Amino acid sequence: MKSRRLPGKPLAMIGPQAMIVHVWRRAVEAQCGQVIVAAADAEIAEAIASQGGVVCMTPRDLPSGSDRIAEALKRLDPERRYQTVINLQGDLPTIEPAAVRRVLLPLAEPAVDIATLGHVINDAGERDNPNVVKVIGDLAENGRSGRARDFRRRLADDHDGPHIHHVGIYAYRRKVLETFVRLPQSRRETEQRLEQLRALDAGMRIDFALVDTLPFGVDTPADLERARALLDG
């Protein structure tokens, strides 16, 4: 709710519904399992509850979305029935349900700790934009997935690809998530403001699956108008 570039972002209206409701509906349509909105604000809880959704209230001062989902998991599932959790951020109203399902695929490999998504970059402006986080990794033989070696905002001049736009959705094994949120921030994470670098720096393995359609995060008023144009149409 305290987004500097778009105050009140989760409740920004896209058509007749708040943005957080659009994201919640996409998660429900993915049919991956129980959908919980981990919230710190009563307004968000009310918006989701009015649609019949389930909300877990979490402390306002948690430092990241990963900490928030870990806290919700601890509160709602002390019996530890769930061993996998997807972290879907509330500002991705255009994400396709198939993409939410796809983020689980890399976890079929037991050695993978965390899974995420990527989209092949075909535009030089996108490749060179420091606001676009890129995955540095090796593609598998199938050309549709790979192992992440690094995440960067700026690519080296001699980096010859593949150029992959990172999509900020994660699937965690529960034990990995619990370990991750107890780790101190790494130097690279602090410098580049990329939480996933903490996992790599701690020796965790992150794999990614590619998607054909790039969902975009709503961070600015211009992003919001773009989302409205896409979803209202």
- The pLDDT tens digits of the residues spanning 145-169 come to 999 999 999 888 777 778 899 999 9
Neighbours of 141 (CB within 10 A): 6
Answer yes or no: is 53 within a domain.
yes
Same domain, 207 and 101: yes
| Out of 6-10, 27-31, 109-113, 178-182, least confident range | 6-10
In a domain, 88, yes or no: no
Same domain, 63 and 144: no
Please give the average per-residue pLDDT across 23-38, as a whole number: 97
Q: Which domain CATH number covers 67?
A: 3.90.550.10
Are residue 134 and residue 186 in the same domain, yes or no? yes
Query: What are the tens digits of pLDDT across the range 191-229?
Result: 999 999 999 999 999 999 999 999 988 988 999 999 999
CB 212 within 8 A of CB 95: no
Please report which helix (H) or strand (E) contains residue 227, including its range: helix 221-232
For residue 123, which amino acid is it? Answer: D
Give the mean model confidence (pLDDT) for residues 163-189.
96
Instruction: Tell the burial category of 175 from Cβ atoms under 10 Å away from its Cβ (0-12, 13-18, 19+).
Output: exposed
Same domain, yes or no: 103 and 67 = no
Task: Specify whether the CB–CB gap between 37 and 53 falls below 8 A.
Answer: yes
Question: In this structure, are 29 and 57 located in the same domain?
Answer: yes
**Tally of domains in the chain:** 2
Same domain, 61 and 105: no
Predicted confidence band of residue 233 (pLDDT cuts 50, 70, 90): low
Residue 90 domain flag: no
Q: What is the pLDDT of residue 47?
A: 97
pLDDT score for 3 = 83
Identify each DSSP E strand in the chain by its residue range: 13-14, 17-18, 36-39, 54-57, 84-87, 114-120, 134-139, 145-152, 164-173, 206-210
> Is 32 inside a domain boundary?
yes
Check residues 3 and 15 and name the one with the higher pLDDT: 15
What is the average pLDDT across 124-138? 89
41 and 103 assigned to the same domain: no
Q: For residue 17, is it within any domain?
A: yes
Which amino acid is located at 49 in the chain?
A: A
**What is the Cα 213 distance to its own chain's centre?**
15
Same-domain status, 140 and 204: yes
Q: Are residues 180 and 158 in the same domain?
A: yes
Do 208 and 230 lie in one domain? The reply is: no
Q: Where are the alpha helices (H) located in 57-194, listed in sequence order? A: 65-76, 97-102, 124-128, 174-180, 187-192
- Taking alpha carbons only, the member of 202, 100, 121, 126 closest to residue 163 is 121
Answer yes or no: is pLDDT of 4 > 90: no
Residues 205 and 113 sit within 8 Å (Cβ to Cβ): yes
pLDDT at 81 over 70: yes
Query: What does the pLDDT read at residue 21?
Result: 97
- Determine the pLDDT at residue 80: 96
Range of the domain at 41: 1-82+219-233
